[in-house]
């Protein structure tokens, strides 16, 4: 009895002390940190867009930046961006729904494996497939066109990736698995009796699909569509590889071009464009929220269902072929191309006497590459860990506490969700440049680390709060009742129970850092290059064969992580 009383007493005193000083201090610190990661670059972006010179230099405030946006060139870029993203999102959505249905609802052979194969391209850095497709689909020397000519004897080309179609196709390789991950669980988790009731009401299979299955999935589909559309507008790799050489401009490449590729960089216009696209994305997200308000149907009840499986008969080989073809085109073909070109003197000239290991040797001896490799690994490990810790705390506060200020924290953590890497890059560029001298962030790895953390935070928060939501509050309270304090509870119970989600989030963020190009390319200095930047530079300096070798190394890493993840974390990644 006395023990219980004294415990209670101590706990009360502790809670009291915490709420008195600790809590406001913790919240304040968190808001400050998040503000630095999100609001600060945003504010600097706005400042840069209305100031005639970069921050720190004498200049005046004007609207020249925004007026420059109305140049035909920029309007064309905006139209291109919207059009390309719309087309690729539409096509990807159709393909993703088809494949999700095949995997979740039919008796197609090998569905479990197909699911892993279909989602694999999502984890391969875009820069890697971009280089591969540039070598596959080059009009003159692309492997596909060479094969076409060899087979048909004609001297035209079958495809040309340096085109609108090429950009769309390259983006689709990411968008399709992205949307697939969203909709496949919606297909799987639907209460089968909802569809059976429709059949019993006299509706055919086809009527049932449209009026019940699809209609029920509409909210999640819309959500996937809008997110994927935004991703498309933010995309940099596809356009810089396949658009820039043939003068197809989009917003991100236009910003990149204005800042880095011109004799006289037009910082103000680039920044204005960044800010304008940010506002655009923000509006789209608001639209999404509006569209979906109160329209998410919980079709999942507590019961575990075996979903309705459609028996396809002989057609199941066709559905198998569709999924497998997607895997072939998005993984096997690009990887094959990288392998092929890494062993030949010049890509496009595949003769026995041109076989060589020279590129492997050259990459092996390339100090610049190894330096970048080390940077990427360091940033990946530190960045993913730091982001997950930050995300874990934010997720906890927003789902598990009623502290004042948690709404603000939530909003701050969500801000980067609508910032393209390129835009965040400029914001940080200006932000770091104006910091006082005793905070020399610009030009160090810290600059990249902070940018990566900002970009990764929304994912980390989403993953961890999802995991917390699944752990019953009782478990936590039970632990506290038994005398564990807040810190112990957090560590022992929550983290112990939520660790698979943490691991999933960590790997996702690590992947994100490894493939990140658009912010890195603005923030790196020669000493802080990362792998993706080195790849792009190698590519631009005309060494596609060396790029292939680097790409293969990167791919090996991706496959290793993905394997570990699937093998040891027996939970599918449906969180992103």
Q: Which stretch binds another protein (CB under 8 A): 205-213, 437-445, 496-504, 542-550?
A: 205-213
Interface with another protein includes 315 (CB under 8 A)?
no
The span of 53-61, 97-105, 213-221, 354-362 binding another protein (CB under 8 A) equals 213-221
CB closer to another protein, 308 vs 457: 308
Which residue in the set 18, 194, 280, 495 belongs to the binding site for another protein (CB under 8 A)?
Answer: 194
Indicate whether 297 belongs to the interface with another protein (CB under 8 A): yes
User: Which residue lies nearer to another protein by CB, 310 or 575?
Assistant: 310
Query: Can you read off the two tokens belonging to residue 191?
Result: 């209460």
> Taking the complex as a whole, how short is the minimal distance between the CB of residue 190 and another protein, in angstroms?
11
3-class SS of residue 312:
coil
Positive or negative torsion for Cα 470, 472, 473, 475: negative
Using CB under 8 A, pick the residue from 2, 247, 264, 298 that binds another protein. 298
Strand residue runs (E) in 3-108: none
Q: Is the Cβ–Cβ distance between 60 and 438 less than 8 Å?
A: no
Q: Which stretch binds another protein (CB under 8 A): 149-157, 180-188, 204-212, 421-429?
A: 204-212
Q: Is 303 in the site for another protein (CB under 8 A)?
A: yes
- 97 class by beta-carbon count within 10 Å (0-12 exposed, 13-18 middle, 19+ buried): buried
Considering the complex, what minimum distance in angstroms separates the CB of residue 306 from another protein?
11
Question: Shortest approach of another protein to residue 488 CB, angstroms?
Answer: 41
Count, residues near another protein per rule CB under 8 A: 24
Does residue 293 touch another protein according to CB under 8 A?
A: no
Q: How far, in Å, are 81, 396, 442, 461 from residue 89 at the CA level? A: 12, 33, 36, 25
CA distance 215 to 511: 34
200 binds another protein (CB under 8 A): yes
Residue whose CB is less far from another protein, 197 or 560? 197
Stretch that binds another protein, among 208-216, 273-281, 476-484, 492-500 (CB under 8 A): 208-216
Closest distance between another protein and the C-beta of residue 304, in Å?
Answer: 13
571 counts as binding another protein under rule CB under 8 A: no
- Angle of helix 406-414 relative to helix 367-400, nearest 10 degrees? 150
Q: Which two tokens stand for residue 345?
A: 């003197």
Is 316 a binding residue for another protein by CB under 8 A? The answer is: no
- Quote the CA–CA distance of 530 and 53 in Å, as a whole number: 28
- Decide if residue 203 touches another protein (CB under 8 A): yes
| Cβ proximity to another protein, 98 vs 218, nearer residue | 218
218 near another protein, judged by CB under 8 A: yes
Max Cα distance, the chain (Å): 94
Regarding 197 and contact with another protein (CB under 8 A), the answer is yes
Beta-bridge partner residues of 355: 344
Contact between 77 and 274 (Cβ < 8 Å): no
Residue 106 binds to another protein (criterion: CB under 8 A) = no
Whose Cβ is closer to another protein: residue 216's or residue 555's? 216
Q: Which is nearer to another protein, 14 or 215 (CB)?
A: 215
- 3-state secondary structure string, 67-97? HHCCCHHHHHHHHHHHHHHHHHHHHHHHHHH
Task: Return the sign of the alpha-carbon dihedral for residues 311, 317, 322, 327.
Answer: positive
- Interface residue with another protein among 113, 215, 309, 472 (CB under 8 A) is 215
What's the DSSP call for residue 355? B
> Cα(130)–Cα(161) distance, rounded to whole angstroms?
10
- CA–CA dist 492, 476 (Å, integer): 10
Answer yes or no whether residue 302 interacts with another protein by CB under 8 A. Answer: no
| Residue 344, phi then psi, degrees to nearest 5 | -115, 150
Decide: is 183 part of the binding site for another protein (CB under 8 A). no
Q: Note the residues at the interface with another protein (CB under 8 A).
A: 191, 193-194, 196-204, 207, 211-212, 215-216, 218, 295, 297-299, 301, 303
């Amino acid at each position: 009895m006395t023990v219980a009383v004294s415990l209670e007493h101590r706990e009360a005193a502790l809670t009291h002390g915490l709420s008195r000083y600790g809590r406001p201090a913790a919240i304040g610190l968190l808001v400050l940190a998040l503000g630095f990661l999100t609001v600060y670059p945003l504010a600097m972006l706005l400042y840069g867009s209305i100031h005639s010179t970069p921050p720190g230099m004498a200049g005046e405030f004007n609207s020249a930046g925004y007026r420059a946006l109305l140049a035909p060139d920029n309007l064309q870029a905006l139209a291109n961006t919207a059009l390309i993203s719309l087309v690729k999102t539409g096509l990807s959505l159709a393909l993703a729904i088809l494949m999700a249905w095949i995997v979740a609802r039919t008796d197609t052979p090998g569905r479990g494996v197909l699911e892993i194969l279909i989602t694999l391209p999502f984890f391969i850095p875009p820069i890697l497939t971009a280089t591969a497709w540039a070598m596959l689909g080059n009009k003159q020397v692309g492997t596909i066109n060479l094969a076409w000519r060899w087979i048909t004897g004609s001297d035209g080309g079958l495809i040309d990736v340096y085109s609108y179609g090429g950009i769309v196709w390259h983006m689709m390789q990411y968008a399709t698995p992205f949307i697939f991950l969203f909709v496949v669980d919606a297909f799987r988790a639907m209460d089968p009796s909802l569809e059976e009731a429709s059949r019993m009401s006299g509706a055919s299979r086809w009527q049932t699909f449209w009026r019940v299955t699809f209609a029920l999935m509409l909210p999640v589909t819309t959500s996937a569509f809008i997110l994927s559309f935004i991703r498309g507008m933010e995309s940099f790799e596809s356009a810089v590889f396949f658009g820039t050489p043939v003068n197809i401009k989009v917003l991100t490449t236009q910003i990149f071009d204005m800042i880095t590729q011109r004799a006289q960089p037009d910082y103000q216009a680039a920044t204005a464009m960044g800010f304008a696209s940010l506002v655009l994305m923000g509006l789209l997200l608001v639209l999404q929220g509006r569209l979906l308000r109160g329209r998410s149907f919980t079709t999942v009840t507590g019961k575990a269902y075996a979903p309705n499986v459609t028996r396809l008969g002989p057609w199941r080989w066709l559905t198998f072929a569709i999924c497998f073809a997607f895997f072939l085109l998005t993984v096997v073909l690009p990887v094959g191309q990288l392998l092929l070109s890494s062993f030949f003197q010049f890509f496009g000239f595949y003769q026995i006497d041109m076989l060589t290991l020279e590129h492997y040797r050259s990459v092996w001896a390339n100090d610049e590459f190894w330096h970048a490799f080390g940077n990427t690994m360091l940033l990946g490990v530190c960045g993913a860990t730091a982001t997950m810790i930050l995300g874990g705390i934010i997720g906890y506060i927003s789902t598990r506490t009623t502290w004042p200020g948690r709404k603000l924290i939530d909003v701050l953590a969500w801000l980067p969700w609508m910032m393209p890497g390129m835009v965040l890059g400029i914001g940080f560029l200006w932000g770091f440049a104006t910091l006082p001298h005793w905070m020399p962030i610009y030009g160090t790895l810290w600059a990249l680390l902070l940018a990566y953390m900002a970009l990764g935070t929304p994912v980390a928060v989403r993953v961890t709060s999802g995991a917390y939501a699944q752990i019953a509050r009782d478990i936590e309270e039970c632990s506290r009742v038994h005398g564990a304090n807040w810190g112990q509870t957090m560590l022992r119970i929550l983290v112990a129970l939520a660790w698979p989600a943490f691991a999933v989030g960590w790997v996702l963020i690590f992947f994100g850092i490894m493939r990140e190009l658009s912010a890195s390319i603005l923030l790196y200095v020669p000493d802080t290059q990362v792998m993706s930047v080195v790849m792009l530079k190698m590519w631009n300096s005309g060494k596609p064969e060396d790029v292939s070798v680097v790409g293969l190394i990167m791919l090996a890493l991706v496959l290793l992580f993905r394997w570990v993840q699937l093998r040891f974390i027996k939970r599918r990644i449906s969180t992103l």
